[in-house]
Amino acid sequence: MNIRKARPADIDAVETIYNAVLDDQEQNTNCTNWQRGSYPTRQTAETALAAGTLYVQEDDGHIVGCAIFNHEQLPEYARIPWTVPGEGDQVLVIHTLCVPPQNSGHGYAKAMVAYAEDLGRSMGCTALRLDTYEGNLPARQMYTKLGYRLAGSTEFFFQGYIHEILVLFEKGL
């Protein structure tokens, strides 16, 4: 298993992963509150690729997961009573961590989180933060098992039209 920065040739595979997750959400339980055509999209991946913050996970030559790692904290993060101090580039944030349903249960998401922690440490970050939809119980359980502290929850109006309550987690690095 290998995790690396994405390359332009990876965008189709990332888009396929996004669509697989969205398909599963539409057919089963909506754990993410993501909306097809709004988030995540191919443009989400292309923007992160251009910024150098899109990462992919390979196993046996196939891309099995993806995520965005950057320092961007949405304005709503300011409402949370963080216990691990950090501002700006001191905080690495996990966004849009995706493993398609057919690849779940193989430890790919946990490996991506561990990679993000190592990346944050190498950048001199003091904290790793993330948010997830309040109804995403599998993600909430995983982050708790990985030692993340539930820092709080708050209302988000994502991209100006997706209303949701997100829970936010943190971990000191």
Q: For domain 2-172, give its CATH number from 3.40.630.30, 3.50.50.60, 3.65.10.10, 3.40.710.10.
A: 3.40.630.30
Q: Residue 63: enclosing H or E segment and its boundaries?
A: strand 62-70
- What local confidence, expressed as pLDDT, does residue 1 receive? 86
- How do residues 71-87 score in pLDDT, each as one tens digit? 999 999 999 999 999 99
Cα–Cα distance for residue pair 14/84, rounded to 1 Å: 32
Domain coordinates in residue numbering, the chain:
2-172
Percent of the chain with pLDDT over 90: 84
pTM here?
A: 0.95
| Tokens linked to 72 | 């961007």
Return the bridge partners of 130, or none. Answer: 94, 169
Half-sphere exposure of 165 (CA within 13 A, CB side): 5
Return phi, psi of residue 157, to 5°.
-125, 70
- 32 vs 93: which has the higher pLDDT: 93
